Structure 1
Amino acid sequence: MEGMASIALLLDGSISGHFVQLPESVYYQMGQSRLFVSTSYLSGDVSNEPRRNTQQCNQEEDVLVLVDAIFPLSAAAMAFPPLSIRGDLGVVSTAGVRYAYPLLKSFAKMGPQGVLGATKLLRPFSEIVDSLGLKDPFIRNWVDILSFLLAGVKSDGVLSAEMNDFPSDKLPKISEPSQLMTENTRSDLYAALPVLSQGKKWVLLYSTWRHGISLSTLYRRSNLCPGLSLLVVGDRKGAVFGVLVEAPLKPSTKKRYQGSNDTFVFTNTPGRPVIYRPTGVNRYFTLCSTEYLALGGGNHFALYLDSDLLNGSSLASETYGNSCLSHTQEFEVKEIELWGFVYASEYEEAISMLRTEAPGICRWFILPLILPGIKCLSLQGELCGWTCFYIGVAAVAFGCSYYHLKPNDGHLFWDRLPVSYIIPHI
């Protein structure tokens, strides 16, 4: 096939291309979550119109067939990192030994037919395309372009496991409905996520309506899912805005910023989410303090939340080059949500962990003793406060026992004293 092709990466992150083959021209655009296919002919002959519609329908059907064939393989491919997959016997050490357990769990969910299909993960992706009988040259060229963008080679040289994040209209599963984001908003934000976060499922790490209004709780629960997390804020005037942050959020008494260029801020005040990415002027991404949480920097913060998560402000920042994210510079917070992203193979485990997070003395003392790597007391003052509280609880047991052995007014003092001591620490 002779012709001329050009590919361009647009500002919104989509890929646009134009292939010309006389006497016809095919134009295509692939967004990060959608595929748009259209055809046009340079001749302008009206008699070509029916043939154009038929060709377009065939292309769309081929894409749907290809997407349906890819999704059953995603569960197995997401059971271990693509970098651990290789085409020789070394896969036994890089993938088979280390990731055997999550892989078996995925196979159990897929069933016999899915397991049989998963054996193609270590074969070239072109074999899957050939087995589906896709003959349209545009679709095959489009697959080659995707393969080249992912691995630098055509589809006959890339492993099928590396193509498990095939573009589609399907949004990843969400652990529960959001109180702030509509499906359209979530779709726009999903398309703006870095490639490594796309394809992962969304889990709710923190929300004010479920976990209470507490900045320390927000910081603590950000430790449950390290990596990029989406902080979404809704004010009482209906605006929804937020920031993509890097978790865990580590509070400090010093003015120490954290984060990377993968972060961004967004707002829906214009009607649809508008994304502001780092300008490169500075690296003032996220500032975590025990008194406040601030995002962006320079002359002003892009987003500022106070310690009680009831009030905040937003101004233009040099870090992201954004305008005010809310309707007004000062706003009252209505809801706050923090969303984490996990692989499909880790989703059930993450949901279970989030629902059964150990409270009280089990979390603060027993877990750090059993698993020293867990840092449950991350905020300054928490260790002292909880230590005094549980000393008081133990003292209540002794004081109550002393009183009930021989009840009288003198012994009653020792029964009430520990109770009066622990009430302020609650």
Structure 2
Amino acid sequence: MRRALPRTMQTKVEDIRVLYFAGDRVEPYVQIIAVNEPKRRQSICSSEESEAEESDDRAYVEDLLPMLCDHSQLLEDHHLESLATHMPARTQGYPWQLAYSTADHGTSLKTLYRSMAGLDSPVLLVVKDMNNKVFGAFSTSPFRVSDYCYGTGETFLYTFSPDFKAYRWSGENSYFVSGHLESLQIGGGVGGFGLWLDADLYRGASYSCPTFCNQPLSTEEEFIVQDLEVWTIQNATCPPYTKGRK
């Protein structure tokens, strides 16, 4: 005798499978299995695998995070996480020290150059403008006054406005960094500088330039500097900043 399925099952007959079991020593019985159940289980397994992969990725990024020896007023964890994966491999695993900041040293490009004297290591420039936009540049050479451009193809521009974006060397020209007493220039060519700062580290500008094929780093091509920091990589160990990276 065929029995009608319960009303709750009639609405989605296509989602179920009815299996009939019988045997010499087994009482006959019927088992109802939802067809989409294996798919649901597979989805759960895939989700668990995805979460495990994401956890591994997070652990990998955390391993790349630089150890800050000093307090930063501009760099937070999410900034470091984004920057870490774009730093050259040779910089990973070394502590970062604050070489210059407008909060500690005042607003003077000459003072910035003096703080770089004697250094022979890459530096990270971090700028925060009056619109609270954070951006800057990674330079393979410390900033200094020079009659010619310096740096290598590992130099890049970056911005967090509105989301993180790194602009690497395009190969178009080699105008990486040019230091003068009246200004600091990063990237150049027809159209303007990728990042330009005046002698007082007060006014700045960012235009699209052939060196990095970048978009302006801030929401405005010309901006006013609120704060500025320069971090340098040191081979020597240093005690980490114990109050966090904020």
Task: Output the TM-score relative to the length of structure 2.
Answer: 0.72
Matched, 1:275 2:166: yes
Kindly indicate whether the alpha-carbon contact (under 8 Å) linking 2:129 and 2:226 is maintained by their aligned counterparts in 1.
yes
Aligned equivalents of 1:275, 1:338: Cα separation in 2: 18
1:301 corresponds, among 190, 193, 198, to: 193
Q: Residue 181 of structure 1: CA displacement?
A: 2.0
State the partner residue of 1:339: 231
Q: SS of 2:122's equivalent? A: strand
Determine helix, strand or coil for the equivalent of 2:138: strand
After superposition, the C-alpha distances for 1:268-307 in whole angstroms (9 at most, x for unaligned) are 112x221111110000000001111000000210111111
Q: C-alpha displacement at 1:45, in angstroms?
A: 4.0
Show the counterpart of 1:257. Answer: 149
- Shift of residue 224, structure 1, vs aligned partner: 4.9
Contact kept in structure 2, 1:222 and 1:247, CA below 8 Å = no
Cα distance in 2 between the residues matched to 1:51 and 1:315: 48
* Counterpart check, 1:326 vs 2:225: no
Q: Is the 1:291–1:306 contact (alpha carbons within 8 Å) kept by the matching residues of 2?
A: yes
Asked if the contact 1:203/1:340 (under 8 Å) is kept, the reply is yes
The one-letter code sitting in structure 2 at the alignment partner of 1:260 is T
Contact residue 223 and residue 247 of structure 1 kept, 8 A: no
Greater shift after overlay, 257-266 or 239-248? 239-248
Whether the aligned pair in 1 keeps the contact of 2:99 and 2:230 (CA below 8 Å) is yes
Does structure 1 conserve the Cα–Cα contact (< 8 Å) formed by 2:128 and 2:226? yes
Query: What TM-score, normalized by structure 1, do the two folds share?
Result: 0.43
CA RMSD of aligned residues (A): 3.0
Shift of residue 198, structure 1, vs aligned partner: 1.6
AA of the residue aligned to 1:319:
T
Task: Measure, in 1, the Cα distance between the counterparts of 2:67 and 2:79.
Answer: 15
Looking at structure 2, the residues matched to 172 and 289 of structure 1 have their Cα atoms a distance apart, in angstroms, of 30
3-state SS of 1:187 partner? helix
Match of 2:113 in 1: 219
Partner residue of 1:348?
A: 238
Q: Give yes or no for the alignment of 1:169 onto 2:62.
A: yes
1:208 partnered with 2:98: no
Structure 2 gap ranges (5+): 1-36, 242-246
Q: Which amino acid aligns with 1:268?
A: F
SS of match in other structure, 1:348: coil
Moved over 3 A (4+): 44-57
Task: Output the CA distance in 2 between the equivalents of 1:63 and 1:315.
Answer: 38
Does residue 191 in structure 1 map to residue 54 in structure 2?
Answer: no
- Give CA deviations for 1:92-151 in whole Å, capped at 9, x if unaligned: xxxxxxxxxxxxxxxxxxxxxxxxxxxxxxxxxxxxxxxxxxxxxxxxxxxxxxxxxxxx
Q: Which has the higher contact order (CA 8 A, sep 6+)?
A: 2
Number of equivalences: 201
Structure 1 residues 50 and 276, CA gap change in structure 2 (3 angstroms): closer
Match of 2:207 among 293, 315, 320: 315
Structure with higher strand content: 2
